[in-house]
Amino acid sequence: MHFQEILFKKRDRQELTSEEIRFFVDQYTKGDIPDYQVSALLMAIYLNGLTIDETVRLTDAMLHSGIVVDLANVEGIKVDKHSTGGVGDKTSLIIAPICAALGVPVPMISGRGLGHTGGTLDKLESIPGFNVKLSLERYRQQVKELNCCLIGQTKEIAPADKKMYALRDVTCTVENKSLISASIMSKKLAEGIDALVLDVKTGSGAFMKSQQQAEELARLMISIGRKMGKEVTALITDMNQPLGSYVGNSLEVIESVNLLKGSSLPEQYDLLELSVLLASHMVVLGGKSEDLESAGQQVQKVIDDGSAFEKLKKIVEKQGGDPSSLDDYSKLPTATEKYQVKAARKGFVAKLDALLVGKSAVFLGAGRLVLDSKLDPGVGIVIRKKVGDEVNRGDLMMEVYYNKQDQLKKALPYLNEALVLSENPVSPLTLVKNTFD
């Protein structure tokens, strides 16, 4: 079998067999197929698509390109959550310690930023000393001991996905339902879970721009999960504006910690609502509650009594991080300069385009422009007004934290375009659009 034959077939919109997909995945994982050829195949898949059967075959091949973790020694139903990516989406940092504090084991293997979207690992690594590169043995032990571990892919976990994930980011082949599904589900199924909650984003800042596309992606991932014997619930949520009010790696850690301390701001209402809802679904799937209402009460309790925040501090300490930085934010990376964006006139916020805000954050240094880009963990944007808010001329709309003037110069046009005011009142955006289980 030759890779060019596979490339010819997908270029010409033909269906790939299980053997062809496994050959491609195995050979690429071993390094026997170069990146430039795989880039061509990814683009062919992006343009021509994969059938449902091809998607399941690709997921299975990527899953078995490494080992599937056995967490049989961990008591309870193991539940994870995955978001399809967005701007300001830091819910993993919030809900993982909440669920762990409630006795639901959360074995979470996360990824880095893709395109304009932030990555959980990048946020975690802005905490001084935090180590996301634990061995699988330490991963298993920590899940057993603390009910939670937050790591990146090891060389044993879906190594094919790890290579393709980075390549997709820099070849403009991210926004494809089959590639997204195979990437997410191969990692999640490999980490040893019993159940999964999916947060499928839709809107300008999401990979799925329309609700219909998001629902198709949700159904595809649910189908894959169930074929593998897992319980899967999916929420379709809005990503037309950033989630919460902080965008940027250390800034998002601060926002997450503030929420766990019970001190969220009015403009962070959507982050609090979604975090509580996602955690509640995980608690139900984890067998700790029979319904969402009682689960929500349990979630709120561990926020109010501080046990969720204490769990996060224990996780940080166990993974080599400095837990005191979660109380003393001066120990986190901080940008040296600040620029204020103010309202040019009176009106109502009609639009705060998440995609444009995300792109501006990338130009500031919070995301990657090329494969080996070095992130600046201290830069980012703080949003002071959200869609539907009334503003007066001169009101503070956004604060931009930056270190280099040339990066600010590149970022500002995107921010200015992202913000649109209306003379007439505007309704707030609907956060949760649909649920599938």
Catalytic site includes residue 230: no
- In whole angstroms, how far apart are CA 171 and each of 36, 46, 177? 10, 10, 16
The distance from CA 91 to its chain's CA centroid, rounded to whole angstroms, is 8
The distance from CA 363 to its chain's CA centroid, rounded to whole angstroms, is 19
Catalytic: which of 60, 161, 169, 270? 161
Between strands 246-247 and 337-342, the pairing is unpaired
Catalytic: which of 82, 112, 163, 201? 82
Catalytic: which of 10, 78, 163, 187? 187
Give the number of C-alpha atoms closer than 13 A to the C-alpha of residue 333, restricted to the C-beta side: 26
In the chain, DSSP finds a helix count (H) and a strand count (E) of: 16, 13
Cβ–Cβ under 8 Å, residues 344 and 393: yes
Catalytic: which of 83, 126, 181, 183? 183
Cross-strand pairs, 419: 352
Taking each helix axis from N to C terminus, what angle separates 354-364 and 405-418, rounded to the nearest 10 degrees? 180
Report residue 371 as tokens: 């494969």
Report residue 276 as tokens: 């509580």
Element (H, E) at 196: strand 195-202
Catalytic site includes residue 64: no
Catalytic site includes residue 187: yes
Q: Which amino acid is at 132?
A: V
Catalytic residue numbers?
A: 82, 161, 168, 183, 187
